[in-house]
Amino acid sequence: MNDAGITIESNNKQFDQRFYNRELSLLKFNHRVLAQAEDPQVPLLERLKFLCIVSSNMDEFFEVRVGGLKQKLKLNTSNLNIDGRTTRELAEQVNADAHQLIQKQYAVLNQQLLPDLQQHGIRLKKSEDLDSFEKDWLHDYFVEQVLPILSPIALDPARPFPMLLNKALNFIVRIDGKDAYKRKTNLAIIPIPRSLPRVIGIPSDDEMVFVTLATVIRLFRDLIFPGITIESCHSFRVTRNSDLFLDDEEVDDLLRAVKGKLVTRHYGEAVRLETSSDFPHDIQTYLLELFHLDESDLFKVDGPINMHRLMHLYELCDRPELKYPAFKASMPNALSHQEDYFSVIAERDVLVHHPYQSFATVLEFMRQAAVDPGVLAIKQTLYRTEVDSPVIDALVKAAQNGKEVTVIVELMARFDEARNVELADHLYAAGVHVLYGVVGFKTHAKACLVLRQEEDQLRRYAHLGTGNYHPGTARMYTDYGIFTSNEKITKDLNQLFLQLSSLAPDPDNEILLQAPFFMFNEFLKRIKKCEKAARAGNPSRIIAKINSLTEPNIIEALYKASQAGVKIQLIVRGICCLRARVPGLSENIEVRSIVGRYLEHTRVYYFDYGSKNEDGDKN
């Protein structure tokens, strides 16, 4: 790959080098996460955690991105991708890059992390490494805790191959013998129950010894089929297309439609088959045909299938010296020890930066709103959170206290749909007015508006943030939040909630930029202002910190601004379809990706026009 020109050559074909493909860029992001697992400066168990995160990310990549590519191939769509690749060319490149990434992932596990863990007295043993005591202990554990839960399925004409759950671990067993009815039996499936722990600790005096559940089941497989000879026993897992799709024109009840789709999510079309490295070739061929997959969709791995389950090893190891030091978030001075947030916010805006500053500020704001007798109404958006959360407790408490509580629950938050359906039902039962967003669009705003009666006026207070109202992710994601009573901001926010609830057209906002109505055009407008300033000889600059950058028109505008001399600094965590530092195209654009202890999640935009613009504002 050569960043020096306008085209890129791959397999003797020229591709448009103005853009980088989003799927390929997402794989590059996972390479950056994997680099954290290789970094000796990162604490050892944290390196294992990064390795597990890569596994989880790749599961979602196959469920959504690869699943989408396979759907396009099935429909034989002819549209070219952003970089000029056909869908088939892209699918082939994605497959090759994914194989390379996963192969490297297991090499890091086997050649770096497991040996390093062993040096620190933490061992993940294979069956051949177990001593007699460990085998005896595991035998008792298997008989008492595992065997009663298992439900092996022998395959015969009355019991064809079962419909296996998405990402569920299974064993396929080749057996030589006859069943209880004197019939010849060849194959059986052992689904591994998700309720069982995937990593098991074995008592030890001098080391921390662990085995995977798959190792235990394979070790004592004979006890599952008494009286039958087992010739082989191998693990495998199938990944399925899990992206929910709703036809906007056919949806008359969004909640019911989402509930209906959730039933079938675990049984979508297969997109990937993972097997152990010693998997028999004939059974491999059988499974590929069964799942309608090509050999390129097969991933034979040298280690535990579904490496994400090794996250339990991180949790089970009480070794603080091998983890990041504990971090205690601070409280912003303005809100520290304040029993009345509203009096503070009435006087000034308060900016908070999570997780460095505590998310408890948000929870306390909501708690005070729920019990304050002056508060008449609360309006809030929810994208990701948990039913058992102080956020939900505050909303329920407010409704019980007679306040008007309206919540916009985004049912189509990817992979949180089931939780959000449960959340919506819970809030509705508590007397909260629950709305479900807008069909065809995602309500992705993170906002809470409080309306409070103060003497002879109704005053509005708000919290706006880049993160979700989720106390758990607030400890892992970097996000900004602002508490404000600014009249213009809170008026716009009230208009936003009215627009979401009434679907009124053309929201008339003064400060807030709302997508899909104003934000895109305003960004283009500001980029062009910077370009114009630079062409006029004024120093001009753009800084943006974002999750991803995929919109072609924005990228083209940034290229033009760069060519005009605008200095552009982009901090893009994940997908970036823009190519930086290409001579004649993007020489003035710098792109960085920050990957570390916390997931970078803030979105910040800065435009410097170099001199006062026509509105009298410099920036």
Q: Which residues are catalytic?
A: 444
CA atoms within 13 A on the CB side of 253: 6
Strand order in the sheet with 604-608: 589-592, 567-572, 541-546, 604-608
Q: In this structure, how many other beta carbons lie within 10 angstroms of the beta carbon of residue 94?
A: 21
Task: Note the helical H segments in 348-462.
Answer: 360-371, 390-400, 417-429
Task: Take residue 289 and report the two structure tokens written for it.
Answer: 């045909």
CA dihedral for 481, 485, 489, 495, sign (positive or negative): positive
Helix, strand, coil proportions of the chain in percent (round to 5)?
40, 25, 35
Give the whole-angstrom CA distance, residue 26 versus residue 581.
Answer: 20
11: left (phi over 0), alpha (psi -120 to 50) or beta: left
Give the whole-angstrom CA distance, residue 88 versus residue 95.
Answer: 10
Strand partners, 354: 479
Eight-class DSSP state of 437: -
Q: Which one, of 366, 606, 384, lies nearest residue 477 by Cα?
A: 384
Give the whole-angstrom CA distance, residue 463 versus residue 449.
Answer: 7
360: left (phi over 0), alpha (psi -120 to 50) or beta: alpha
Give the whole-angstrom CA distance, residue 446 versus residue 15.
Answer: 39
169 and 235 Cβ atoms separated by less than 8 Å: yes
Q: What b/e readout covers 332-352, taking b as 16+ CB neighbours within 10 angstroms?
A: bebbeebeebbebbeeeebeb
Determine the distance from the C-alpha atom of residue 614 to the mean position of all C-alpha atoms in its chain, rounded to a whole number: 42
400 and 371 Cβ atoms separated by less than 8 Å: no
311-318 long-range contacts (CB < 8 A, ≥24 apart) are 311/49, 311/52, 312/197, 312/198, 312/199, 313/48, 313/122, 313/124, 313/199, 313/210, 314/45, 314/48, 314/49, 314/52, 316/199, 316/201, 316/208, 316/210, 317/45, 317/122, 317/208
The values of phi and psi at residue 449, to 5°, are -120, 130
Which residues, 6 or more positions from 316, have their beta carbon under 8 angstroms from its beta carbon?
199, 201, 208, 210
- 160 by Cβ neighbours in 10 Å (0-12 / 13-18 / 19+) ranks as exposed
Give the whole-angstrom CA distance, residue 312 versus residue 306.
Answer: 12
The SS3 of residue 495 is helix
